[in-house]
Amino acid sequence: MLKNDRWIKERAEAGMIEPFEARLVRHLEPETASAPVLSFGCSSYGYDLRLSAQEFLIFRHVPGTVMNPKRFNPANLEPAPLHEDGDGAYFILPAHSYGLGVAMEKLKVPANITVICLGKSTYARLGIIVNTTPAEAGWEGHLTLEFSNSSGADCRIYANEGICQLLFFEGDPCDTTYQDRAGKYQHQPERVTLARV
């Protein structure tokens, strides 16, 4: 069953999402409708996470190298600088490139819940694809987020604003949670976590 805003708020009070925003924020100054942001916070049946300003890495082509998930080479990544202007703080994801960021919010997924992370339509309309990422029952940490810029233009990726939506699905209790089996991506910090085997 897909969980609603009432359930999300109750679980957040018990520490499922930190920091937590109980309403969907579209403007930093709601009474004046100024300072628009890419929405974040609790929606009817989901939660819009924010992208952390801590780190954003972009894959670069290193001639003669082949990416290998069993022997990941961090030299294939370069940090993207954080820029800021009147629209907010942002990273630039170059055209036809791939980048890694991290969620600002820390999650503690309940043992009977699996979370699916999906991209936001505002970014999708610019050609930015957020990889569909699951957070399994019992997983805890800051999600590392994967972005692909499929467009022919560079694109701003805003920090401290909404970047993806979480959907919470309740299932029958499982025998072994991600925490029980000491999953390799458990307890990710608010930094990009690289591929592990």
Report the alpha-carbon distance of residue 181 to residue 131 in Å, rounded.
24
Query: What does each C-alpha distance from 47 to 9, 19, 135, 162, 194 come to in angstroms?
Result: 10, 12, 13, 9, 24
Contacts of 54 (CB under 8 A, 6+ apart): 102, 190, 191
Hey, what are 12's tokens?
A: 């957040």
The residue from 146, 161, 170, 190 that is catalytic is 146
Report the alpha-carbon distance of residue 68 to residue 53 in Å, rounded.
28
Report the alpha-carbon distance of residue 180 to residue 164 in Å, rounded.
27
146 assigned to active site: yes
Question: Which residues are part of the catalytic machinery?
Answer: 146
